[in-house]
Chains A and B, each alone.
Chain A
Amino acid sequence: MSRRPSGRHAALVARVELRRSWRTLTDTKRGLLMLTAGGIVLPLYGLGLGAGAFFLGGALVDGSFSLARPVIGAALAGLTGLVFAVTVQRAIKHTGEPDAPDGLLTTAPYRDVLAGLLLAEFGRVGAVALLPTVGIVVGFGLGTGSALAGAVLFALLFTLATAGLLAGYALGLVAKYVAGRSEFVSRHRAGIGLVLSVGVPVAYISLNAVPAVQHAAFRAAAATPFAWYADVTFLAVPGIAARPPFAAGAVASLLVGVPVLAVAVDALAERVWYLDRVQPDHAFDPRATTLSDRLLAGRVPRQTRVVAQKCWRRARRSPFTVQFAIFPFFLLVLQVQVALIERTVPASLPVLAALASGIAGGAAFSLNPLGGEGDVLPATLTSTVSGTQFVAGLALAGGLPAAILAVALAVPLGVAAGLGVSAIAAAAGAGIVVAVGAPAVAAGVGVVFPRFETTTVRSHAVVVPSTWAFVGYAVLLGVAVVPVLVTQHPVLASLVGPRVPYGDGVLAALGLVGTTVLLALIGGVSGGYAARTVGTYRLD
């Protein structure tokens, strides 16, 4: 049945959605911080972009800017692409389906709800983009001396943003449809989501610094029909020759494209919202032996093994519960950028990657031993597992994969960086030492600064470690890895080396011993305290 959405219902849905978003934002310190930052940054962006648009407009009128068409085309492509990318991500995570759909979809026609959700999303994008857009439009109008040019640019930006938003929402719905119908994607959706949500931004940040990639992106954007939209802008700019056929083509593409996208979104939303989702089963066979069974059975106490296996199983099914642990790898972005730009692996990358692996492994399961158990904590505390076994299980869960990852990164990166065997071994050894010691350090900090409240990660209620636990862990680990950094990081080692009567190999070994001793001391005290705390913990 084809019924047009009710404007009143759509406005009501949008208003309530925006009210909920506002309250969610203002209810938390993080949200208030974001609002404050936005209140400072966005006006500055608006001023900066306005100044740029002013000078661009002036240059257009003067005829002194020969690259106007490709530059404006690329800029418009970039803005549309930004709205598109943000909307795809948000549609997949948050806005692709209404909250409490059973209630809403049996209260109002889905089309009213869809129109409301899209309106709300446009409002959110608009709230962020308002000041920059005003800056651009006013700056361009003043620069060209034509209010009409500013108005045309505003209409163009508005329409392109609408197209970007609809296209992004449509792709988000396609992704949700695939996730709902494909058993493989459904089973591994959390892992795929994690890889995409972390990998894409990291790849973007890394590649964005590479001039060759920037030029290729600029050329590609300038070669697309987005350059036609520049001609629409030029129509109202005095003294510049627009190409009317291209401008007409651009307008026609929007007049056709936006309605087509709207129809596609409508059809996709109906399919996704009423989808019979596949239900991947996780059949349990008590006789089946896993790789971890074969590796660990008989080598570690059963209680320790099952605690570790439980951690791995939860992480595999819900990787967002340990997503926070990858934070050390963001420290490598600069190194990766250097590697991409200079096409050589920096000599510091192998040891830094190994250390990041160990630090991440330490944080993954041990940084909130009590709170991380969630609703299961009473059962854990009343089971026969001792505090030591429990903490050891968490340490095993993080340390074992971290040690493997450290070696897997340090060795090939070391070879690629042209390091000698001893330097590669030292880097890998540092990763293993940290992977073994860091979980114990984390466990102690985690019981001192536990966190039991849930927070929302990728639309799931998750208990993540407290900020103070992160800070304490970072400080203690930072101290413990100083000997390794001083003796293995090329810049630091070059400062220390001439002052001591040892060769590079001996120096690296001494650093490794130093970090081992520090981790043994700090980890021993910290892990022991964690084991005692868990063993005697009461739910007071």
Chain B
Amino acid sequence: MCPPAIATAGLCKEFDDAVAVRDLDLSIPRGEIYGFLGPNGAGKTTTLRMLTTLTTPTAGTARIAGEPVSDRAAVVEHLGFLPEQPPVYGELTGREQLEYVAGLRDVDDWDHVEDLLERFDLAGDADRRVEAYSKGMKQKLGLVQALAHRPDVLFLDEPTSGLDPRAARTVRDVIAEVAREETTIFLSTHILPVVEELADTVGVLSDGRLVAEGSPGELTSRVEDGAEVGDGSLEDVFLDVTAEAPSGDSAVEADAPDVQR
């Protein structure tokens, strides 16, 4: 049996005077799109940085495609990552940037890269310097380079940020298509309709804790005080579970079995 694409147990990250992530347990199967939500400062970026080996967990374990995140060299072979700021060099052309990343990844299937350039409507600009690209073009180029090696697990931090509606549609289509090819996608975003449309499972992080997890359908048909409260939107759920209670706990009683407290 294949191990989960992403598996964490008791994952914690403490900084000098603050706890960013507490006891995070995740088990995300291959080919799933996992929507990762949370308010600003909830610990989403820290979680992403731990899972992509960029920062070391204080406690707990995390495995990507079966490899422990402590083995950076092994993990990076399996992952693609698009941070919030696309990691591209202004002095290079788009095609040179992709050749660079493809070289570091030992990618030989250049047709795949060219195909992605076409899909993202970047082929005509691929020989221009990246410094002349708009924010959306840089975002798309960053996504192409994250996908160039057909990663097992793709981490996306606000992938539709700065994109016009057409480009955002393309990104959503590509995400869905990539997931059908058994790539697991860990999608961190504030744009709830994107998650609602794409995600198989949604996790909500608040104050470093996973306060809710389930499919969008499960989360939006919550049960409160033993009574079905009917379909709400993901936005309602998000606002409920991340609302700050006087005790510091979540203000919402959610009895649905897949909703963690």
Interface residues of A (CB under 8 A from B): 1, 3, 8-9, 12-13, 16, 19-20, 23-24, 27, 99-112, 274, 276, 278-279
Contact = CB atoms under 8 A, between A and B. Distances in A.
A20 B93 CA distance: 10
Nearest to B48: A102
Given A20-B92, A109-B76, A103 B83 contact: yes
A422 to B, nearest CB: 57
Contact of B81 (A13, A102, A108): A102
B54 interface: yes
B100 A276 contact: no
B34 to A, nearest CB: 18
Contacts of B100: 12, 16
A101 B53 CA distance: 12
B76 A274 contact: no
A47 B16 CA distance: 56
B54 A106 contact: yes
A1 B74 contact: yes
Given A16-B100, A274-B54, A274-B56, A99 B76 contact: no
Q: Closest 8 interchain pairs by CB?
A: A103-B87, A100-B87, A109-B73, A108-B104, A20-B91, A106-B81, A102-B83, A23-B91
B87 A278 contact: no
Given A274-B55, A278-B16, A9 B103 contact: yes
A24 B91 contact: yes
B159 interface: no
Given A9-B103, A12-B104, A106 B79 contact: yes
A414 B132 CA distance: 55
B76 A107 contact: yes
Question: Chain A: interface secondary structure?
Answer: helix
Interface in B6-27: 15-16
Contacts of A99: 89
B142 interface: yes
A59 to B, nearest CB: 48
Given A9-B104, A12-B100, A100-B87, 6 more contacts: A1-B71, A99-B89, A100-B88, A102-B83, A106-B80, A110-B72
Contacts of A3: 73
Contact of B89 (A20, A108, A111, A274): A20
B104 A103 contact: no
Nearest to A106: B81
B61 interface: no
Contacts of A1: 71-74
A16 B54 contact: no
A12 to B, nearest CB: 5
A85 B87 CA distance: 30
Contact of A107 (B71, B74, B92, B101): B101
B189 interface: no
Contacts of A278: 16
A274 B72 CA distance: 11
A124 to B, nearest CB: 15
B184 interface: no
B261 interface: no
Nearest to A27: B91
B15 A13 contact: no
A102 B92 contact: no
B74 to A, nearest CB: 7
A112 B104 CA distance: 9
Contact of B72 (A23, A109, A279): A109
A24 B86 CA distance: 20
A335 B21 CA distance: 58
A103 B92 contact: no
A105 B92 contact: no
Contacts of B79: 106
B76 A106 contact: yes
Given A1-B71, A13-B104, A106 B53 contact: yes
A316 B226 CA distance: 58
A3 to B, nearest CB: 5
A319 to B, nearest CB: 25
Nearest to B155: A106
B54 A276 contact: no
B201 interface: no
B145 interface: yes
A19 B91 contact: yes
B105 interface: yes
A102 B81 CA distance: 8
A101 B91 CA distance: 16
Contacts of A100: 85, 87-89
B52 A106 contact: yes
A271 B56 CA distance: 11
Interface in B141-196: 142, 145
Contacts of B55: 274, 276
A431 to B, nearest CB: 43
A103 B103 contact: no
Contact of B145 (A9, A103, A112): A103
Interface string B193-228: 000000000000000000000000000000000000
Contacts of A16: 89, 92, 96, 100
A230 B76 CA distance: 47
Contacts of B83: 102-103
B92 A19 contact: yes
Contacts of B49: 102
Contacts of A104: 87, 104
A100 B71 CA distance: 21
B186 to A, nearest CB: 13
Interface string B34-66: 000000000000000100111110000000000
B149 to A, nearest CB: 9
A221 to B, nearest CB: 39
Nearest to A11: B103
A248 to B, nearest CB: 38
